[in-house]
Amino acid sequence: MSAVAIQLEQVPRLNPMFRLQWEKAQDCWVLLYPEGMVKLNASAGAILTRVKGEASIAQLIEQLQAEYPEAEDLAEDVLGFFQHAQALNWILYD
């Protein structure tokens, strides 16, 4: 996949190939897909639970910053996550 730069105004949604779910047994959010499961760390979980095809990346950053005011470099982390998530085919943009 060619690395396309991610734009702040883009509106991400979860690729329907994946299902986001809280797994009690793993004590974390996971992505389920055909015959597989990815455990998400806390920040990936916090981001992906807000990815609904409604808010833009800029709006997601705002929401997260409001919720975690102490977090530094949050915008950079979120952009880094979307870069990573796109390479893994988790995210689609309309």
Partner 1 sequence: MIKPEIASRQPLWLLAELTYKCPLQCPYCSNPLDFAGAGAELTTQEWIDVFTQAREMGAAQLGFSGGEPLVRQDLTELIAAARDLGYYTNLITSGLGLNAERMADFRQAGLDHIQISFQASDEEVNNMLAGSAKAFEQKLKMAREVKAQGYPMVLNFVTHRHNIDRIDRIIELCIELEADYVELATCQYYGWAFENRAALLPTRAQLEKAEAITQEYRQRLQAAGNPLKLIFVTPDYYEERPKKCMNGWGEIFLTVTPDGTALPCHSARMLPIEFPNVKTMSLEEIWQTSPGFNYFRGDAWMPEPCRSCDEKEQDLGGCRCQAFMLTGDMHATDPVCSKSPEHHRILAARQEAELAEEREMTYRNERNSRIFCRG
Interface residues with partner 1 (CB under 8 A) are 1-2, 16-17, 19, 21, 23, 25-26, 30, 32-39, 89
* Contacts (Cβ under 8 Å, ≥6 apart) of 14: 20, 48, 51, 52, 53, 90, 91, 92
Residue 43 Cβ vs partner 1, minimum distance, rounded to whole Å: 18
Residue 39 Cβ vs partner 1, minimum distance, rounded to whole Å: 6
**Residue 35, both tokens:** 């015959």
Place of tokens 């709006």: 59
Say if CB 31 and CB 20 are below 8 A apart: yes
The nearer residue to partner 1, 2 or 73, going by C-beta atoms, is: 2
Residue 15 Cβ vs partner 1, minimum distance, rounded to whole Å: 9
The nearer residue to partner 1, 3 or 66, going by C-beta atoms, is: 3
Cβ atoms within 10 Å, residue 29: 20
The nearer residue to partner 1, 35 or 73, going by C-beta atoms, is: 35
